[in-house]
Structure formats: C-alpha cells, structure tokens
Amino acid sequence: MREPAPRSYRAPSTALVPAVELRGLVKTYDEGELSVPVLRGIDLCIEPGEFVSLRGPSGSGKSTLLNILGCLDRPTAGRYVLGGTDVSALTREEQAWVRLHHIGFVFQSFHLLPDATAAENVVLPLFYAGVRRAERERRARELLERVGLAHRFDHVPSRLSGGERQRVAIARALACRPRLLLADEPTGALDSRTGASILELLLDLHRRERLTIVLVTHDPGVAEAASRRIFMRDGRIEDDARA
C-alpha cells in the first residue's frame, strides 16, 4: 500500500493546467547583514510534456531554480504552482510528499547507494512510498529493462560503467511515475559518447511518455537537443526559445 498524502495536501488538479507555473519568483540568501539576490522575479510557464533546458554562466541562478522546482528549497517571494497546486504554500511535510510522489531527480554524480544492487537503488523511492515488496521487484525489472539494463539487475554500482550508473539513476527517478523530471548536468560526468547515449535516452522517454523534463546543463550541444531552451543570467531569464 502506498503512503497516503498528508491530510492537508490537495492533489494536483486533473484539469488542463501548466505542468509548472512560476510567478514573480524571488530567492535571496542572507550573508551576515547582506541579502544576496539569486533569483530576481522569475515568470515561467512550462506545459505538460515539454523538454526544457536551462543554461547560463555560474551564478546565474539555474541550480537554485532547479532546487525550488524540486521542493528542495523555498522561494523568498512569489509562487510555484505544480500541476495546479501552489506547492510554495505547502508545509515541509507536504512538500516532501510531493517530492517523493510527483518529482524525479537525476544528478551529475548519480547518488547511488554503493552497497545496493541496481534493482535496490531503483526501488528506493517505492520503499519510502510504502509499496509492497513484490510490486517493487516487478517495477525494478520493468524500469531496468526500459533503460536497457535488465541484465544488470543484481549488479552493485562498482560493477557498472558511468553510463550504466546514470541509467540506473534515471530508472530510479521514474520509479514513482513522476509528473516532472529534473536533471542536473546528467551528462556532465560522462565522456561525449556515453553522454550522447544518456541524452538520447532522456529524449526517447520524453517522446514515448510525454514526460515533462527540465534539464540544467553548461553544454550548448545538450541544451540544443531540448524543444525549449532557456538561458539565464544574473537571476533572470535572458532568453527563452522554442525549437
């Protein structure tokens, strides 16, 4: 049985609403007596099924924006609406529930448990969501097959290549069937050939499942593969182009 939603949490609307809507999003950090602005009034609407890349120089605010989208951080001001629900107004408990059930994460450094098998890493979110063991095992096999790693079911990360580790991380991100997938430099730790295969996998998932993806990258070639390309500078969106 899956973990129930917190009592005060209202499920996202099933109406045709944007996948992500940001209105006047501001983030500042206090450093002593100074307030350092990182995001300066971001307005952004992402439709369901869009593949969006975020690019910009270091310090442009893209990682902070990704953290807010993933409910890992809160805005100082403004609204973040996910699937029709204002998640910026939720409690931390409610945000944690949203993060587990509706958002998938892929990181540059994989973040796999070193002593767990590929299958055990994949189903970790399902364990926390209260899914029964038999269903977790079935889902692990299904997801590892989807990312081309059915033959690595019982392998620990040390027996996997970098590209295979990232495929396991992608499978784990899909475990709870998220409405939003956030990828932070997913090809950054890989050689160019392996990185291209990971990007193609993400593109294939986007095409087949109409998964909404937001990908942060420094690589212009990776950014160009997205159907929508956003460039940030100094905490603002400087350019927003669709293919």
Would you say residue 152 lies in a domain?
yes
Is 6 contained in some domain? no
Question: How far is 220 from 40, CA to CA, in rounded Å?
Answer: 24
Residues 118 and 140: their CA atoms lie apart, in Å, by 9
- The total number of structural domains in the chain stands at 1
Amino acid identity of residue 174, one-letter, is L
Confidence of residue 1 (pLDDT cuts 50, 70, 90): very low
Cα separation, 130 vs 192, in Å, equals 38
Measured between alpha carbons, how far is 173 from 54 in angstroms, rounded to an integer? 19
Residue type, position 118, single letter: A
Strands 228-233, 236-242: pairing kind? antiparallel
The whole-chain average pLDDT of the chain stands at 91
Task: Identify the domain containing residue 71 by its residue range.
Answer: 20-242
- What is the spatial distance between Cα 121 and Cα 86, in angstroms, rounded to a whole number? 30
Confidence at 186, pLDDT banded by 50, 70, 90: very high
pLDDT in tens, 57-103: 999 999 999 999 999 999 999 999 999 999 999 999 999 999 999 99
CATH number at residue 154: 3.40.50.300
In a domain? residue 1: no
Answer yes or no: is pLDDT of 15 > 80.
no
Q: Is residue 187 one of the residues assigned to a domain?
A: yes
pLDDT of residue 35: 85
* Within a domain: 10: no
pLDDT digits (tens, 9 = 90+) for 53-68: 999 999 999 999 999 9
Q: Is 13 domain-assigned? A: no
CA 18, 24, 25: angle at the middle one, nearest 5? 85
With respect to residue 44, please indicate whether it lies within any of the assigned structural domains: yes
> For the chain, what is the radius of gyration of the CA atoms?
18
Q: Round to whole Å and give the CA distance between 228 and 215.
A: 10
Q: Give the angle subtended at the CA of 116 by the CAs of 112 and 122, to the nearest 5°.
A: 60
Tell me, yes or no, whether 3 lies in a domain: no
Give dist(CA 24, CA 148) in Å, integer.
Answer: 41
Predicted model pTM: 0.90
Q: Where are the beta strands (DSSP E) in 154-235?
A: 180-184, 212-216, 228-233
